């Protein structure tokens, strides 16, 4: 089919799906007007939609994992698409079939989306999709679904993504009331993901409850970044395929997307940018708070008219009790993109402040009892206008008074130190173990998906190193913990850029230097390993660093990121695999792979470091004495660095000090350090009674 024919198919398909199922065939016959090809292709897509729901509207990976594993995979069951073995079929829709598959290379399960042949037959569409998918796959954020691979095997184009076991926001809204705390937690994670994507020049274009999932552990994921672009008609392609476009231009006169969540500019088929995602986010936030849509009509056209011409009914309970949150929703849903939040980062700041405000207020019902419809902007009742205006005026005044000291403090110190309820040294053993358990899970989630739940033996191993750090006070010439961590902030922005560019979790890069060199850029150990990340000279040469450059953090940090990325390619990139990648930094990847094969038949086998740790007595003295300690030591260092206030360290969590600006020269780096960290170092150097210290093991 030609490009023009597919545009017709897409337009007729959208109109047909807006009608009840029983009316679609008759509508299709009338709309196609005797065009047999148009009828055949559109009808086949409608049948696919009715069999398993359209993939964009309801991602198949949102189903419960236990059901998925029992699903029938059809004739592809057991077959291979490239390196992926098909286990079962998850769903089928307008974008093709979706399967649960096993990645034989990394021993992990993925959601495998097979694109239909007609998408691949249009070269321009395929090029655009590949570019968008590559850009989306470069996103490295815990709240964004990871795209593992975009590839082709024997003429079949596929997308391999992480497999998520959780529920969509739609399912959560359908099955139970979300509390205000839950809503704000979801909103904050979604805004954080949007901020990261927009900073990379990627706009989602289809934010809605079906495309947001929450795992059982509370981690929220946005699905299908870059995928919605595939459903749009072709446009003139930019000459440079390496740069994602910040604005998505949709063909004039053709409206794409999910109607209830479209921005006014989408509804008019105008060019869109990241502010269209802010509008859609506002619709989702309104729906979570009010249990109803802000814009809804009996037909698709009625809904579009409401989006373009009407204002949503006020969320009275929210406006009365949480005026700052009501203002956030109102700002997101302003008709003009120029009047919304300028960026998702600005939105995220407001959400965090609203979350802090709600935490000090008593719990109040947020759902209105009566579901009001969206009202015409020009025909509201006068008393309603006056009451809402009064609420907003009083709320704004209260918010300004409440936030003024906080904003001033933020200007004085960009990375404020959070208050601490209890020092680690003041906790009893049960509290310390619970603290370590929770923080290990938090850090593991920053490393990747599917973090393992640790048993008491593993937690005790981490606690051993936390206790060692916390109990030492700089005697016998050893450095204190405060002295070591005080050196870290100047390197964190460089680490974040270098590791982020290689799609290596930044948390790894931040805390490797703690256990390797105590953040001493020219430290050399007894076997000749040198530098911030402790490379041997031959390893440094292999990654483009000469022996003379090993003290240069600007050279060593990108090399270390490259090294870790190579090991991730061999061992995997989910949270459990990352523990093996960490271990390989100490033992080498070959030893890790060989040892995993030896333990494969063990009854307690899981593909992570903790399986090796549990069998440490069988794995030789070298591993028992050094390798078995490496990963627990890393987690201990990260727990302290992410919770410095619990250890008496007057600095922010190191992961909050990342900087998205381009890598500066050495003199610029020094100037930025002086401006961003001056207060921090003055404060550190003035303290004589800081608790804790650091002992670096050179073995």
Q: What are 30-56's pLDDT values in tens digits?
A: 888 888 888 887 777 776 555 433 333
| Together in a domain, 128 and 265 | no
pLDDT at res. 305: 80
Return the higher-pLDDT residue of 11 and 293: 293
| Most confident stretch, 179-188, 201-210, 368-377 | 179-188
**End residue of a domain, out of 395, 411, 433:** 395
**pLDDT tens per residue across span 599-629:** 877 777 888 999 999 999 989 888 988 899 9
Asked if pLDDT for residue 689 goes beyond 60, the answer is no
Contacts of 216 (CB under 8 A, 6+ apart): 165, 166
Instruction: Tell me the CATH number at 118.
Output: 3.30.200.20
Residues 158 and 202 in one domain: no
- Per-residue pLDDT reduced to its tens digit, 622-662: 898 889 999 999 999 999 999 998 998 888 899 988 753 33
Closest CA to 203 of 248, 255, 234, 268: 248
* Per-residue pLDDT tens over the stretch 335-348: 999 999 999 999 99
Average pLDDT over residues 230-239: 40
- Based on the domain organization, do 125 and 46 belong to the same domain? yes
CB-based contact 473:693 (threshold 8 Å): yes
Cα separation values, 609 from 347, 545, 579, Å: 39, 30, 5
Whether residue 533 lies inside any domain: the answer is no
- Residue 18, SS3? coil
265 and 152 in one domain? Answer: no
Domain shared by 432 and 453, yes or no: yes
Chain segment 147-171, per-residue pLDDT in tens? 888 888 888 888 888 888 888 999 9
Coil, strand or helix at 562: helix
What percent of the chain is modeled with pLDDT above 70? 71
Give the residue with greater pLDDT, 509 vs 42: 509
Position 584 pLDDT exceeds 60: yes
Q: Residue 551's pLDDT is what?
A: 94
Q: Could you tell me if residue 369 is inside a domain?
A: yes
Domain-located, residue 416: no
- Say yes or no: 254 and 330 in one domain: yes
Residue 92, domain member (yes or no): yes
Distance, in Å, from the CA atom of 392 to the CA atom of 323, rounded to the nearest integer, reads 7
pLDDT of residue 75: 61
In a shared domain, residues 320 and 460: no
Closest C-alpha among 307, 229, 311 to residue 268: 307
Q: Given 162, 191, 214, which residue is the final one in a domain?
A: 162
Q: Are residues 612 and 634 in the same domain?
A: yes
Within this chain, do residues 49 and 131 fall inside the same structural domain, yes or no? Answer: yes
Pick from 395, 412, 439: which residue ends a domain? Answer: 395
The candidate with the shortest Cα–Cα distance to 669, out of 492, 415, 412, is 492
User: Domain limits at 216?
Assistant: 166-234+248-395
Strands 212-215 and 375-376: unpaired
**Higher pLDDT residue, 157 or 182?**
182
- For CA atoms 258, 262, 267, 273, the dihedral sign is negative
Both tokens of 486, joined, read 């005080």
Residues 616 and 662 grouped into a single domain: yes
* Chain position carrying tokens 């997308």: 159
Task: Give dist(CA 446, CA 655) in Å, integer.
Answer: 10
Q: What is the mean pLDDT of residues 671-699?
A: 33
**pLDDT for residue 124 is more than 80:** no
pLDDT at 128 over 80: no
Residues 461, 658: Cα–Cα separation, whole Å:
29
Specify the CATH number for the domain of residue 366.
1.10.510.10
**Residue 432 within any structural domain of the chain:** yes
Residue 681 lies in a domain: yes
Q: Provide mean pLDDT across the span 382-401.
A: 39
Question: What are φ and ψ of residue 413, in 5° steps?
Answer: -140, 100
The pLDDT of residue 490? 92
Band of pLDDT at residue 226, cut at 50, 70 and 90: low
pLDDT digits (tens, 9 = 90+) for 524-566: 988 889 999 999 999 999 899 999 999 999 999 999 999 998 8
Into how many domains does the chain fold? 3
Catalytic site residues?
206
Give yes or no: residues 188 and 269 share one domain: yes
For residue range 243-278, list pLDDT tens digits in order.
333 333 333 333 445 689 999 998 887 888 999 999
Does any domain span residue 645?
A: yes
225 and 260 in a common domain: yes
């Amino acid at each position: 089919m030609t490009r023009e024919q597919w545009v017709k198919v897409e337009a007729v398909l959208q109109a047909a799906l807006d009608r009840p199922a029983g009316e679609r065939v008759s509508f299709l016959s009338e709309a196609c007007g005797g065009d047999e090809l148009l009828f055949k292709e559109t009808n086949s897509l409608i049948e696919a939609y009715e069999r398993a729901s359209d993939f964009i509207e309801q991602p198949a990976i949102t189903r419960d994992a236990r059901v998925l594993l029992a699903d029938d995979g059809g004739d592809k069951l057991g077959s291979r698409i490239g390196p992926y073995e098909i286990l079962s079929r998850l769903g089928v829709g307008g974008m093709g079939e979706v399967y649960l598959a096993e990645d034989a290379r990394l021993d992990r399960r993925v959601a495998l989306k097979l694109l239909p042949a007609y998408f691949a037959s249009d070269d321009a569409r395929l090029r655009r999709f590949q570019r968008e998918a590559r850009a989306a796959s470069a996103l490295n954020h815990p709240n964004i679904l990871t795209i593992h691979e975009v590839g082709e095997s024997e003429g079949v184009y596929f997308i391999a993504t992480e497999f998520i076991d959780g529920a969509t926001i739609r399912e959560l809204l359908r099955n139970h009331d979300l509390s205000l705390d839950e809503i704000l937690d979801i909103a904050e994670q979604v805004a954080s993901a949007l901020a990261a994507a927009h900073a990379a020049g990627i706009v989602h274009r289809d934010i809605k409850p079906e495309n947001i999932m929450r795992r059982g552990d509370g981690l929220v994921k946005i699905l299908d970044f870059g995928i919605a672009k595939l459903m749009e008609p072709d446009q003139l392609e930019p000459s440079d395929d390496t740069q994602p476009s910040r604005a998505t231009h949709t063909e004039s006169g053709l409206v794409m997307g999910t109607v209830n969540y479209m921005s006014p500019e989408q509804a008019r088929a105008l060019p869109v940018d990241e502010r269209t995602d802010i509008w859609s986010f506002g619709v989702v936030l309104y729906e979570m708070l009010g249990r109803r849509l802000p814009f809804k009509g009996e037909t698709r056209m009625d809904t579009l008219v409401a989006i373009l011409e009407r204002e949503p009914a006020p969320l009275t309970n929210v406006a009365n009790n949480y005026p700052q949150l009501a203002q956030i929703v109102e700002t997101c849903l302003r008709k003009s993109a120029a009047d919304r939040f300028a960026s998702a980062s600005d939105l995220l700041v407001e959400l965090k402040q609203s979350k802090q405000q709600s935490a000090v207020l008593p719990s109040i019902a947020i759902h209105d009892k009566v579901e009001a419809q969206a009202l015409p902007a020009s025909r509201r009742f006068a008393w309603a206008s006056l009451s809402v205006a009064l609420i907003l005026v009083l709320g704004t005044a209260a918010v300004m008074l409440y936030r003024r000291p906080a904003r001033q403090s933020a200007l004085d110190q960009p990375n404020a130190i959070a208050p601490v309820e209890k020092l680690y040294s003041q906790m009893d053993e049960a509290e310390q173990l619970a603290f370590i358990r929770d923080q290990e899970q938090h850090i593991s989630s920053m490393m990747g998906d599917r973090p393992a739940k640790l048993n008491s033996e593993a937690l005790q191993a981490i606690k051993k190193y936390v206790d060692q750090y916390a109990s030492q006070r700089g005697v016998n010439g050893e450095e204190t913990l405060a002295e070591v961590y005080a050196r870290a902030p100047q390197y964190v922005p460089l680490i974040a850029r270098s590791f982020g560019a290689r799609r290596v979790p930044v948390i790894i890069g931040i805390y490797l230097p703690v256990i390797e060199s105590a953040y001493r850029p020219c430290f050399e150990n007894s076997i000749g390993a040198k530098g911030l990340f402790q490379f041997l000279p031959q390893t440094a040469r292999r990654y483009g660093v000469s022996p003379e450059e090993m003290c240069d953090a600007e050279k060593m940090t990108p090399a270390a990121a490259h090294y870790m990325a190579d090991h991730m390619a061999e061992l995997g990139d989910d949270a459990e695999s990352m523990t093996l990648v960490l271990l390989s930094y100490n033992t080498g990847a070959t030893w890790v792979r060989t040892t995993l094969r030896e333990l494969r038949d063990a009854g307690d086998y899981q593909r992570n470091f903790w399986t090796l740790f549990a069998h440490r007595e069988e794995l030789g003295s070298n591993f028992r004495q050094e390798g078995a300690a490496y990963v627990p030591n890393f987690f201990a260092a990260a727990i302290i660095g992410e919770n410095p206030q619990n250890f008496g360290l007057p600095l922010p969590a190191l992961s909050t000090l990342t900087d998205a600006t381009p890598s500066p020269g050495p003199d610029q780096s020094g100037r930025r350090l002086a401006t961003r960290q001056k207060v921090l170092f003055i404060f550190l150097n003035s303290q004589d009674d800081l608790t804790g210290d650091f002992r670096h093991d050179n073995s």
